[in-house]
Structure 1
Amino acid sequence: MSPLSPTAGGGLLVLGVTTRLEDGEEVLDRTASVDRSTVDLDQMRKLIRERVTPAPRSVTVGWSDDGQSCVVFIDIPQQASGTVFVVAAPAGKQGQVPAHTVAVPVRDADGTHWLPRTEIQRLLSMGITALGMPGPQALTELVRQAVADAQACLGP
């Protein structure tokens, strides 16, 4: 499976739980109740919409409370096949994310790794080629031809 292949069924993020490895599988270890006054669910929804492109569809952000512990959950249903998501890349001052930078996160079990810039470029190039768009060499030749045509029109 390629690193960008969508996972079957989407995903579920739960804040307020810890896990442990057991026979190579992650299992719930314990819950650490989240204080409701420290989490703004509307702000979380807004951040997801603002920082993930395209915004994932039908995401649910909410509380789960069994009377003893309270956790936050983010339920992300399976998205359209072949969709690649990019997020604003963390750069600059703590808490500030420049709008002109992007990164591609790839989930791997309980971790996230980021596609290297070379891989993002390779994937973009493959998409451009698959769409039948001209590559860099063809674009360079088009520019050279346009310059030559402009010089010919201006005369000696």
Structure 2
Amino acid sequence: MLETLTEDALPALLPSQEEYLQRLSLIFPATSAGAPHGTSPGAAAVVFVALYVGSIDGVRPINIVSVTAMSDSIAARRSDMDRRAYYEAVTGPGRASEVQRLCEQAGYPRGTPWYRDNAREYLRTGPVAALLTTGALLSASLPTTSARPRYSLDSSFAALFAQELSGDSLALAIKKWQTSVHQVTPPPVTESRFALPQAYSAIVSGNPGALLGRKECSWLDVKSQPYKLGNPAAEEEFCKDVAAFANLHGGLLVIGFSTAVKQDGEIIEAITPIRTAEINREQHRKILRSRVKPYIRGLAVEWHSIDSEAGILVIYIPQQPDAHKPFILSNKRDPAAVKCPIRDADGTHWLSAEELARYLSLGWNTTR
């Protein structure tokens, strides 16, 4: 156990998760720095868990597991004793297993955890990053490798979830908080500095609008509709687009944006979120693992919510060492046959036998 819990009363909780979502949508309007991740169900879960255990201004800090391990069954137990017991269990050495043991000993159902373990990265790079950016969430100065809890709500932000606030009083309190933290849209990244790292960072920090008005290029490709996985042609197109980036300098493939054809190419025109139910991240990963060889190191397939029902899918392909190239697609019908794609300006094409031979003769140094 990280600290001796005091007997001070824990903050009162709002009746439902929906109310946390509603308040977050008022605190972070669409033009604010916290949108859209600050208004997502993940953000509501982070805020609820922090208030559930009284994690404010560095007291009783929480970790990502504190959020993923929560369940409806546990959330419904709202006595201070139950809430303190959950904190002790989830931040102790056993963490999730201790939560299971706590429920068994107390005699109530464990319930289904709100998130699977593989959602930790989404919570860290989406909702948590957005709340940190706006000053709503604080982080202790700990090494990045430390497993100790580090997050807590800023007290002025936590106060916005007081039960007695409603109507005009809530609106006034939110306005004061927004003014105090200078709640404004992050300034756009200048064209000379906007590249793959900045684009990826903008999306995971809750600012996908930074891509609007930008041109598709050798490292950026967007789609308005998801790939129809299960269809062989669509699966091959997906693997082709990803492997092509890996064969050049890396890239960002984002599903959930539309483009318009201009004189100088395809310009990203609007965010067109896709339904959460249409996306299975693990299926995307499985297809890439089975069809693209060798394995693309550092590949990330991430879902970033726009609202409770829709979001954007991001496939991030870091630059790969030339020694690992080329990345090829296997052929299901003919295992001996391979195909090799490469990104070219804002398009992708298959290398001919002559082009492939030339790249190989150069040791696949794509800067030559």
Question: Normalising TM by the smaller chain, what interval?
Answer: 0.5 to 0.7
Q: Which has more strand, going by share of residues?
A: 1
Cα deviations by residue, 1:72-104 (Å, 9 ceiling, x for unpaired): 110111111352211124xxxxxx554332111
Higher deviation after alignment, 51-60 or 14-23: 14-23
Give the aligned partner of residue 290 of structure 2: 50
1:70 maps to what in 2? 311
Map of 1:111 onto structure 2: 347
* SS of equivalent residue, structure 2 residue 297: coil
Alignment of 1:1-156 (within 5 A): 6-7=248-249, 10-22=250-262, 24=264, 26-67=266-307, 69-82=310-323, 83-89=325-331, 98-123=334-359, 126=361
Aligned partners of 1:5 and 1:33: how far apart in 2? 28
Supply the distance in 1 between the matched residues of 2:296 and 2:265 (Cα, whole angstroms). 27
Structure 2: 5+ residue runs without aligned partners?
Answer: 1-243, 364-368
Shift of 1:17: 1.2
Measured after TM superposition, the shift of residue 25 of structure 1 is 5.3
- The C-alpha deviation readout for 1:103-125, integer Å capped at 9, x for no partner, is 1101123321001123334555x
- Root mean square deviation, CA, Å: 3.0
* Alpha-carbon distance, 1:13 to partner: 0.3
**Change in 2 beyond 3 A, CA 1:12/1:103:** same
Q: 77-86 vs 25-34, which deviates more?
A: 25-34
1:5 offset after TM fit, Å? 7.2
After TM superposition, the score normalised by the length of structure 1 is: 0.61
1:32 & 1:76 partners in 2: Cα distance?
22
Work out whether residues 32 and 69 of structure 1, in 8 Å CA contact, stay in contact via their aligned partners in 2: no
- Who is 1:132 aligned against? none
2:251 and 2:291 map into 1 onto residues whose CA distance is 18
Contact in 1 for aligned 2:300/2:317 (Cα 8 Å): yes
Please state whether the residue corresponding to 2:322 is helix, strand or coil.
Answer: coil
Alpha-carbon spacing, 1:97–1:44, altered in 2? closer, same or farther (3 Å): farther
**Residues 27-71 of structure 1, C-alpha deviations (whole Å, 9 max, x = no match):** 321222212222211010111111111111011101122228511
Aligned residues of 2:328 and 2:340 also touching (Cα < 8 A) = yes
Contact 1:31-1:69 at 8 Å conserved across structures: no
Q: How many residues align?
A: 117
Note closer, same or farther for the CA distance 1:86–1:71 as it changes in structure 2 (3 Å cut): same
